[in-house]
Amino acid sequence: MGFSMLTEKELQKASAAFSALGNLTRLKIIGIVSETERPLHIKAIAQLLKKDYAAVYRHVEVLAESGIVGVYDVGRSRVIYLKNASTIKECVRIIKEMS
């Protein structure tokens, strides 16, 4: 299927996803989450990235709004997981081949 066959809504969704992925910190977040089998607390991701929790949380919100990750509460913590993890991993594999 080519781009001409996408609806306006589908193009907007793709644009949001590509925009979300166009940030190095957000790509690092996806990388961290993709390497684990379990969802991760946003606080743990912030510690791994050596970044402020609030800054990482804002990046996670962008990823969630674009449909790339999901977020849910566990007690007082927020946990992130990849939606369609196999698709994300396939995209990473394709990008590695392009290099």
Q: Tally the domains of the chain.
A: 1
Question: What pLDDT is stored for residue 50 in this prediction?
Answer: 97
22 domain residue, yes or no: yes
Q: Is the pTM of this model over 0.95?
A: no
23 domain residue, yes or no: yes
Q: What is the CATH number of the domain that holds 56?
A: 1.10.10.10
Mean pLDDT of 15-21: 89
53 domain residue, yes or no: yes
Neighbouring residues of 74: CB distance < 8 A, sequence distance ≥ 6: 41
Whole domain around residue 21: which residue ranges? Answer: 10-98
50 domain residue, yes or no: yes
Question: What pLDDT is stored for residue 3 in this prediction?
Answer: 62
The conformational region for residue 50 under phi > 0 = left, psi -120 to 50 = alpha, else beta, is left
**Residues, the chain:** 99
68 domain residue, yes or no: yes
